[in-house]
Amino acid sequence: MKKRTLGNSQLEVSALGFGCMGLNFGYGPGPGKQAAVKLIRDAFEHGVTFFDTAEAYGPFTNEELLGEALAPFRDQVVIATKFGFADGNASAGMDSRPARIREVAEASLQRLRTDRIDLFYQHRVDPNVPMEDVAGTVRELIAEGKVRHFGLSEAGVTSIRRAHAVQPVAALQSEYSLWWREPERDVLPTCAELGIGFVPFSPLGKGFLTGAIDADTSFAKDDFRSIVPRFSPQARQANQTLVDLLGRIAAGKGATPAQIALAWLLAQQPWIVPIPGTTKLTRLQENLGAAEVALSRDELDQIEASLAQIQVQGERYPAHLAARAGR
């Protein structure tokens, strides 16, 4: 697996990471703890060194299974986790008070079976806590050796700049893919200016860009996509045009739509590190194969021209969750 460095942080990771959330949270029943542990270890054996979790996934249980999975080779991997929700519950609102950040750090260290968190993200910006206080608390945790690097998730440009002025931000994690390109407007230029790495989550459009989902797919009530406007049957039918485009490009490259979607992200900047998630070994192997798919400048220009003709339908979040992003 090729390596990349997240901005100016000197934090070197595999070119593709592994997003662990879906192993037991967000997309309905997962494969079970032991199967999840095995898949994480399979990812490591295939060269992945960057693993992403959060206290809110479960809550808490995702960190526990990741800690168990990575314990045998802890010093060979980079672990990212997150703070920022009240009591670790994403539906309970934000809580990034300094005392709470410290509580989360201590608890996460225990669950992850480690003595340091490599990358500690604020999961969402808390409008009730000054960003300077958040960044200052993480700076203290770094000085104490409990955290190595500071990150933000779904933060807006003003918050990024305020945080970075107190404690350098190593990475910003936000949604970015062929069907959500909003970060290109302001966030990615800011990351380039400040030397901040960028970690796209949902790089495969929550599974849609793989081609495995169509207008007839049904989602369980505990699957987050069941409340996402972009995954309504009407939106999925309209957005099939994008998947068809990926299929045509993939066929010409001897690749899969998922590999083209990930290769496109990798081609945008050398400091972008996508973190696709999966519950299946075959999909893991497919995703990691994207690191070997090279898109030429002409192919990227052709993709750009084709995308300009496609209008993606549906919002990426319901309104109450959209309000949390970009602050």
- 288 to 79, 261, 283: CA distances (angstroms): 18, 12, 9
Asked if 176 is an active-site residue, the reply is no
Closest by Cα among 35, 110, 29 to 67: 110
Distance set, CA 73 to CA 46, 87, 176, 294 (Å): 14, 30, 30, 30
Alpha-carbon gap, residue 218 to 208, rounded angstroms = 13
Partners of 93 in beta bridges: none
Q: Which DSSP symbol is given to 293? A: -
Of residues 57, 121, 176, 317, which has the active-site annotation? 57
Give backbone dihedrals phi and psi of 280, rounded to 5 degrees, phi first. Answer: -125, 140
- Cα 116 → chain centroid: 20
Encode burial over 72-96: b for 16+ CB neighbours within 10 A, e otherwise: eeeeebbbbbbbbbbebebeeebbb
Pinpoint the alpha helices (H) of 147-186: 157-166
The DSSP call for residue 71 is G
DSSP secondary structure of 26-42: SBSS-S-HHHHHHHHHH
Pure H helices in the chain: 33-45, 61-70, 98-111, 131-143, 157-166, 187-194, 233-253, 257-268, 281-288, 297-307, 319-322
Token pair of 239 as six digits: 């957005």
Pair of tokens at residue 222:
């505990």
Active site residues: 57
